[in-house]
Amino acid sequence: TTIVAERLRHAIEVQASQAVRTTGGTKITMSFGVSCLSLGASDPLDLVDQADQALYAAKEAGRNRVGQWTQDGLRVGQPIDEPELVGQGHS
């Protein structure tokens, strides 16, 4: 899930500003928060809460990032360039 979110984040950063004519040179970016059922969510609302906490951690870390709920707590990665994403496994 983190790789998918990172690919979306990168695509938005690279392509959205060019596609939206009214941005006037403003850079469009996106932050994501992800989690998965295997990390202890007791119900769907708990899963959403985990992803929401990961999203806020991503925003607090500087925005334009992917935050991930893990068994060890929240983790926020640095933005990855597309060439680094090519060839990585899907999750």
Rounded to the nearest 10°, the torsion over CA 16, 66, 88, 41 is -130
Quote the pLDDT of residue 38. Answer: 84
| pLDDT higher than 60, residue 88 | no
N- to C-terminal Cα distance for the chain?
Answer: 5
Quote the pLDDT of residue 47. Answer: 92
55 CB-contact burial (10 Å; exposed 0-12 / middle 13-18 / buried 19+): buried
| pLDDT higher than 90, residue 90 | no
- Mean pLDDT over 29-57 rounds to 91
Tell me how far CA of residue 81 lies from CA of 3, 37, 41, 50, 77, in angstroms: 12, 28, 31, 26, 12
Two structure tokens written together for 75: 């983790």
pLDDT band at 85 (very low <50, low <70, confident <90, very high): low
